[in-house]
Each structure stands twice: as structure tokens, then as C-alpha cells.
Structure 1
Amino acid sequence: MSLATPPVGRRERNKQAKLERITAAARELFAEHGVDDVTTQQIAEKADIGTGTLFLYAKTKGELLLLVQNSGYVDALEEGRAAAASIPDALDAVMAIIRPIVACNRIQIDNGRTYLRELVFGDPDEPYHRDAITLTLQTEDAIAGVLRRDDRVGHDDAATLAHVVSAIMFIGMASPANVARTVEEILQEIRDQVRVLIG
């Protein structure tokens, strides 16, 4: 019995190619102009598709932003996990996970803040919103894994602490008070709070 994956059909390849064009077009336009100053028509034109086709892939501009930001978040989380694996100190390891996520979120500040708003208030039935929630849970799991290295921290307590650390991180990134602050300043604020939390 063969376990080989069947080849992907032309239709699926075309769908994937369109999704990649949409993602690239939205990423470029959002980075250049900010999400608020880009229309779905501009994204469709840049991706060389019709607006109706665009809405088959993402129903709103918010979903398009989630699609774009999620792809960066995946890379940032992987970078953070890899860095944390070799750091013995819990606080330093937690911050190693958080650092690339904050940096990713702050590439274009308005986009990053809008992403967080979409994550909290967006439609949880939309696929890119579900992906964003999954990434948040994976981040919490990575942080909990670091905290569980300490034998004194139980499984449930590590998960609860990780949830609180995640909230601290998201509030630090979303806070209007932090709009003009640098990545390093935000990371220091997060570090100070996490240090008190995990002792």
C-alpha cells in the first residue's frame, strides 16, 4: 500500500497561486500605505484578479490583514521558539519568544494595532481569524513550555501564567500609550511585568 501524497490538481494549484498573489499584493500595499489607506479594489488589481474573486479568498479587508500578518507571525513564533530552546533562564527564554513577535507586529505600527483589534473583535468563524487565534494559543503553549522547565510550576499554573504573559504582550503592543515607543521600549515594559509575574 502506497502512502504517497496524490499530486495536487490544476484547480488547487491555481487557487494556491491566486492566494499567493493576493497575499503578496496585500502585504506590499499594506506595508506601503497602511491598511486604512488601501482598498480591496487596489489589492485585486495588484493581484491581477477581479474583486469578486478576491472576496472568495477573504471577505473583508480585516481578513486580508489577518492573512498577511499571520504569515509573519508564524515566522516570528518559530524564530522565538528556536531562540528560547537554548536559553536556561525562564525570563530570558520567555522574552526570546516574545521579542520577534513584538518586532513583527511593529513593522507597520497601524497595521499591527489593527491586526490585534481584528484578533479580538473579528469574526471567529473566518478562517484567517481562526488561524490568528491558533497562533496566539501556540504562543501561549511555547511560553508555558518554558515555564514548565521549573519543577515547581505545575502544568495548569504554567498554562495560566502563559495566558497572562500573552495578555501583557498584546496590551503592550496595542496600547495607545505605546504608539510612539520603540520595539525595545515595549519589550522592556513587557519584561518588567513578566519578571514580577513569574518571579
Structure 2
Amino acid sequence: MRHGQAAAPGRRERAKADKRARILAAARALFEERGFERTSMSEVARVADVAQGTVFQYAATKAELLMMVAEALWGAHEQANTAPPRSAPAAGEPAAQIAALISPFVAVMRRWPEPTTWVAREILFGADMPHRQRVLGRVEGLEEQIAARLRHDRAGAPGAAAATGARLIVTGVLAELNRSRQGRIDGEDVDLVLRRLIDLVVAGAGAAR
């Protein structure tokens, strides 16, 4: 091995990575096909071709397994859609920019409504576990991107107002997704509801100058 060159992963590390990938793929497929509530950890183990105890080594609960899948999907989305630097948001109205930032969540909800709304519930109310913490870190990153767009609005929302406004928008998105799981909102109306929320927050943040 050359100096400064990272060592290749050993057999044990490769086996662990392979098991993790199979568990992720199995969980995602089952959550998409059967939904969160109708999927069991034993089914995930069977499809992944691992022992059930192995699944619990990677995720202690089914909810944590869902967050493991969510974190992987979010990471893949960010890699495929590199955001512009937060110090220089893309041109355009801030409300439209913010709507574009949250549109992937609405699109995923329409494609996989039941698992997505369970993800929203876990983000809001879930137990403090490792995969959920990683997802919360990505939520904070989304809030920072939204706050950057509020700060660069023509109205120039101050830092504290921009941060609060971003938190309100993200919390509102999660709350509306959770309401849709409870049958309290038609999924086709989510775009309109969230755009109204964004418009209100943008106007309020600008007024806080």
C-alpha cells in the first residue's frame, strides 16, 4: 500500500456493508410495497436473506429501520441534486425557491404516502435513536437552506427571523404530512396548503426587519 493511501476494507467490513445494503434494499422495497404498518422485521430479514437478529443490529426498532431508509434516500437525493451555496441562493422569488426545496418531500409523499407520513411522525415525535438523529441533522440542513433564502429576500429578513421562519416552514411541512396520514387533508391539496404557509412565513419574516 502506498503512503497516504487508504487501506482497502477487509473481508469483515465488506460483509457488514453487504448485509447493510441488503437490509436497506429489503426494507425500502417492503415499505414501498406493503407500507410501514404491514411490514415486519422478520419479513425484512427474510427478503434480505439475513438472520432477524442481524436486522436488529442495524436498527433496534422498525421505526428506526424506517429512519435508516429515510436517511439513505435523503443522502442519495442530496448527492444527485447538489444545492447552490447557502451564501448565494439561486435567483428568483424566495417563496418559489423554498417551495422547490420542499417539493421532493411532497413528490415522495404522493408516491409512497403511508411510509412518508410515518417518517414525518418519527421526525416530530420519535425516540432519540441514531438513525433518527442523522435525519434530524438533515432537517437542520434544510432549515439552514430555507433561512438563507429568507435572508436574501428583497425584504432582507434578519438572521433570527429567518431562522424562526425556516423552522416554522419545516415544522409545517412535517405537520401537514402527519395530518395526511390521519386522513385530515387530501394529498392533492398539500402543495396548496404548503405554498400558503410559505407565503405567510416569507411575508412575516420580511416584516420583521
TM-score (norm 2): 0.84
Richer in helix (by share): 1
Runs ≥4 in structure 1, deviation > 6 angstroms? Answer: none
Q: Deviations over 1:10-39 (max 9, x none)?
A: 211111111100000011111111111111
**Alignment match, 2:149:** 146
Q: Which amino acid aligns with 1:14?
A: A
1:110, CA displacement in angstroms? 1.5
Match of 2:200 among 189, 192, 196: 196
1:60, CA displacement in angstroms? 0.8
Question: Between the two proteins, what is the percent identity of the paired residues?
Answer: 27
1:5, CA displacement in angstroms? 2.6
**Alignment match, 1:137:** 140
Whole-Å separation in 2 of the counterparts to 1:2 and 1:161: 49
Contact 2:93 2:153 (8 Å CA) reproduced? no
> Are residues 99 and 27 of structure 1, via their aligned partners in 2, closer, same or farther at CA, if it must alter by over 3 Å?
same
Q: Gapped runs of 5+ residues in structure 1?
A: none
Contact 1:70 1:131 (8 Å CA) reproduced? yes
**Alignment match, 1:36:** 37
1:4, CA displacement in angstroms? 2.9
1:75, CA displacement in angstroms? 4.0
**Alignment match, 2:172:** 168
Q: Report the more deviating stretch, 1-10 or 34-43.
A: 1-10
Q: Which amino acid aligns with 2:107?
A: A
**Alignment match, 1:74:** 75
Match of 1:119 among 119, 123, 127: 123
Whole-Å separation in 1 of the counterparts to 2:140 and 2:170: 9
Q: Deviations over 1:137-171 (max 9, x none)?
A: 11101111111213722222211111111111111
1:109, CA displacement in angstroms? 1.4
Q: Deviations over 1:113-155 (max 9, x none)?
A: 111222222221x211111111111110111111121372222
Contact 1:102 1:187 (8 Å CA) reproduced? yes
1:86, CA displacement in angstroms? 3.4
Contact 1:27 1:68 (8 Å CA) reproduced? yes
Q: Which amino acid aligns with 2:30?
A: L
Q: Does 1:181 align with 2:155?
A: no
Alignment coverage as a number of residue pairs: 194
**Alignment match, 2:66:** 65
TM-score (norm 1): 0.88
> Are residues 89 and 75 of structure 1, via their aligned partners in 2, closer, same or farther at CA, if it must alter by over 3 Å?
farther
Whole-Å separation in 1 of the counterparts to 2:76 and 2:176: 20
**Alignment match, 2:99:** 95
**Alignment match, 2:207:** none
Q: Does 1:155 align with 2:159?
A: yes
Contact 2:26 2:44 (8 Å CA) reproduced? yes
